[in-house]
């Protein structure tokens, strides 16, 4: 299996459990690895034959930017389901980080893997 990836995609959104977090937009940082087979694209140099990381990034920016989740866990599960369904991705690994959440840490969040890796 090959991987198309996106690293440190940063999107402003409403997220968090505290009152102030329901009013102030914060940055979430996403890393996404998506299982695919790149050989058809490599042989044809046709963007239609691959997983377009720009299209995925644009969808993530729109979805996360409009969302209002309480927990990073919920955001991660919803992103995973969306990417697998809309882009026909059989397996993915996703990190959702809130770099501003704990001042003493450079980043906090969750990492999930979903689907079947072939």
Ligand X SMILES: Nc1nc2c(c(=O)[nH]1)N=C([C@H](O)[C@@H](O)CO)CN2
Cα gap 11→78, rounded to integer Å: 15
Burial class of residue 118, CB neighbours in 10 A (0-12, 13-18, 19+): exposed
- Contacts to ligand X from residues 89-108, by CB under 6 A: 98, 101-102
Active site residue 54: no
**Residue 62 interacts with ligand X (CB under 6 A)?**
no
Question: Could you give the 3-state DSSP secondary structure of residue 69?
Answer: strand
**CB of 102: closest distance to ligand X in angstroms?**
6
77 touches ligand X (CB under 6 A): no
**Which of 30, 98, 101, 109 is an active site residue?**
98
* Contact call for residue 81 and ligand X (CB under 6 A): no
Give the SS3 label for residue 52: coil
Residues 9-48 that bind ligand X (CB under 6 A): 16-18, 21
Are residues 94 and 76 in contact, defined by beta-carbon separation less than 8 angstroms? yes
Q: Which residues are catalytic?
A: 98
Site for ligand X, rule CB under 6 A: 16-18, 21, 71-73, 98, 101-102
């Amino acid at each position: 299996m090959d991987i198309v990836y996106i690293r440190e995609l940063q999107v402003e959104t409403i997220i968090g459990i505290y009152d102030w977090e329901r009013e102030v937009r914060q940055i979430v940082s996403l890393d996404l690895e998506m299982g695919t087979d790149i050989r058809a694209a490599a042989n044809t140099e046709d963007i239609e034959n691959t997983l377009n990381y720009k299209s995925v990034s644009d969808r993530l920016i729109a979805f996360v930017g409009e969302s209002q989740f309480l927990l990073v866990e919920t955001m991660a599960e919803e992103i995973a389901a969306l990417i697998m369904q809309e882009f026909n991705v059989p397996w993915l690994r996703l990190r959702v980080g809130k770099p501003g959440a704990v001042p003493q840490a450079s980043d906090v969040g969750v990492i999930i893997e979903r689907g079947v890796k072939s």
